Structure formats: C-alpha cells, structure tokens
Chains A and B, each alone.
Chain A
Amino acid sequence: MNLGPHADFIIAAYAVTVFVVAAVIAWVVVDYSAQRRILGDLEERGVTRRSQRKG
C-alpha cells in the first residue's frame, strides 16, 4: 500500500483516532471496575439502597 507524499498526514490522522478511542475505552473500563469495587465494599459493610430495604 503506497500512501504517497502525504503519508505522514494519513498516519497521524489514524494514530490520533486510535489514541482518542483507546483513551475513552480505557476510561470506561477503569471507571466500571472502580464503581463495582466501591459497590462491593459498601455491600460488604452492610450498606443497602433504600429500594432494597423491606418494610
């Protein structure tokens, strides 16, 4: 595949896109595991939500 005289611009465009998408995915994955961990800690300490309480 020959990208011609403007290969740098094409490669930079793809690199920026991959970087931004990877950063968003990493943030989502890290945030998900953090929220799960905090929820687990709270449940272990016996803290419940109002909707989970009986009576």
Chain B
Amino acid sequence: MAVIDLANPTRFLTLVNRVLPWLVAATCILFAVGLFGAMNAPDDYRQGATVKIMFLHVPAAWLGMFGWALMSVAALGTLVWRHPLADVAGKAAAPVGAAFTFICLITGSLWGRPTWGTYWVWDARLTSMLVLLLLYLGVLALYWTAEEPGRGARAAAILSLVGAVNLPIIKFSVDWWNTLHQPASVFRMGGSTIDSALLKPLLITAIAFTLLFVTLHLAIMRNEILRRRVRSMRLMQAQELAEAT
C-alpha cells in the first residue's frame, strides 16, 4: 500500500484495523518492561522514592506537547489542503493530548508537594503547561459545540496554529525565566544529567506512553471516520425523505 493511498479514509481504516492489535500488544509489553524497571530503579539521592513519579510525569509532559504539535501540522492540512483526514487527525489528537497534559499537571503537583513543599507555584513552566491544558479544552469545545462540523474544524485549526506559539514557551521557559521547575535534564546540550539506572526505565516508559498515544490516536481517528459516515448516511436519508414528501 502506497503512502498516498492512506489519504483515502476506507484504505486508512483497513490499515488501522490491521495495525491496532499489534500496537496494543507492543504497548502492553513495553509498559510491563518499563514499569518493572521503574519500580526496581534506585531512589534518587535527593528526591528519594518520589523520583518514581518522574516515570509518569516526564513522558506525559512530552506527549502533551507532542499532541499539540501534531494538531498544528494537521491544522495546516485542514486549512491549506482542506484534506478531511487532516481534520480527523487533529480532532483525534485533542482528547489524547489533553489527557496527557492533565496527567502531567497532576503528577507534577503530587511530586512538588513533598519536594518543593507546595502543590503549585505560578512559575513559567507550570503556568505555560496549564495554558496548554486550557488551549486543549478550548479546541475540544470548538469541535464538540460547532453545529456545522466544517466550521468547527476551521476554527479549531486556527486555534491549533495560534496555540503552537506556547510550545517553545513551555520548552524554554526554564531557560528564559527564573523558575522553581528544574531545567532540562534529558534532552540538553552536553548530554543527559540523569543516571543511567533511572534514564533507561524512563526512556522505556516514554516509548510505551508514545505507543499508547499512537494507539489511542489511531483508534479515535477510526471512530471519527465512522461517525462522519453515520452523519453522511443520516443526511442522505433525510434528503430522500424530504424529496419523497
């Protein structure tokens, strides 16, 4: 199957039905390996056992941002090429990205209380991440409340592109401002500052969460294509009834 064939929703559905069981299996295996490594990883010399929250918090933060980046690329497909699958991809990424951003904020808060002595501070990293969650909720509201799906899709695409400005703010907030949140420690110039005993399970859980994101995204895209077919068939049925009377 050529890549261009995937632009056809029916062929895309065939591919999704074929790959989803494999993705589910790979996700489960990687979670088993990653969480086993996370539970058996040594405590951090400063954070103690609370470092185990990092195995959830860090991948969730990455995927919260990845979801919005995906929506921004899909928004270009919606606005420039007006491709229906681009809109489906953008709409499907929103709930998954919002869920991971929510997990990031909650787990970060639960890590912050024993480590910083507070659940929340209005520093640049935490605030920009909260703004990302609010942006996700805004996009979901546009998709779910628009009476005409096409209009909702265009509005959501514009908000996705505008909201992409927040991604570099989140990433570089710890460098641009004096924040309580620590600076980058995995992907940074000069290499990671995390010991390999913690870094290895972190990367495995990050891959597992990424596979979970991809699996959920494809499954939600499949549901959305089916929902649009239902809508199209109901419109055809209503049209026929109107013509008959």
Contact call A39/B233, Cβ cutoff below 8 A: yes
Q: Which residue of A lies closest to B240 (CB)?
A: A47
Contact call B103/A47, Cβ cutoff below 8 A: no
Query: Knowing A17-B60, A50-B236 touch, does A10 contact B222 (C-beta < 8 A)?
Result: no
Classify chain A's interface size.
20 to 34
Query: Knowing A17-B60, A32-B219 touch, does A48 contact B107 (C-beta < 8 A)?
Result: no
- A20 touches which one: B50, B52, B99, B226 (CB < 8 A)? B99
Q: B-side binding surface: helix, strand, loop or mixed?
A: helix
Classify chain B's interface size.
35 or more
Contact call B52/A3, Cβ cutoff below 8 A: yes
Query: Knowing A4-B48, A16-B103, A39-B229 touch, does A9 contact B236 (C-beta < 8 A)?
Result: no
Contact call A13/B107, Cβ cutoff below 8 A: yes
Question: What 0/1 pattern do residues 23 to 53 of A give for CB contact below 8 A with B?
Answer: 1110110011001101100100101111000
Counting chain B CB atoms within 10 Å of each CB, which of A27, A28, A49 scores highest?
A28
> Would you call B178 an interface residue if the criterion is a C-beta within 8 Å of the partner chain's C-beta atoms?
no
Q: Determine, out of B110-118, B136-144, B150-158, B185-193, the stretch whose residues face the partner at the interface.
A: B110-118
Residues of chain A lying within 8 A (CB to CB) of residue B50? 4, 6, 9-10
> Would you call B212 an interface residue if the criterion is a C-beta within 8 Å of the partner chain's C-beta atoms?
yes
Contact call B237/A14, Cβ cutoff below 8 A: no
Contact call A9/B111, Cβ cutoff below 8 A: yes
Contact call A48/B233, Cβ cutoff below 8 A: yes
Residues of chain B lying within 8 A (CB to CB) of residue A3? 49, 52
> Would you call B68 an interface residue if the criterion is a C-beta within 8 Å of the partner chain's C-beta atoms?
no
- B103 touches which one: A6, A17, A38, A49 (CB < 8 A)? A17
Contact call B43/A4, Cβ cutoff below 8 A: yes
Residues of chain A lying within 8 A (CB to CB) of residue B113? 9
8 A Cβ contacts from B176-223 to A? 212, 216, 219-220, 222-223
Residues of chain B lying within 8 A (CB to CB) of residue A45? 237
How far in angstroms is the closest Cβ of chain A from B39? 6
A-B contact pairs, 9 of them (CB 8 A): A1-B39, A6-B49, A9-B50, A16-B110, A24-B96, A32-B222, A36-B226, A47-B237, A50-B232
Q: A2-B49, A13-B106, A14-B56 are in contact. List 15 more A-B contacts (CB 8 A).
A: A4-B48, A9-B114, A10-B50, A10-B52, A13-B56, A13-B111, A17-B103, A23-B99, A24-B96, A24-B216, A32-B219, A32-B222, A35-B227, A45-B237, A48-B236
Q: Which 8 A-B pairs have the closest CB atoms?
A: A35-B226, A4-B49, A6-B114, A13-B107, A13-B110, A13-B53, A9-B110, A3-B49
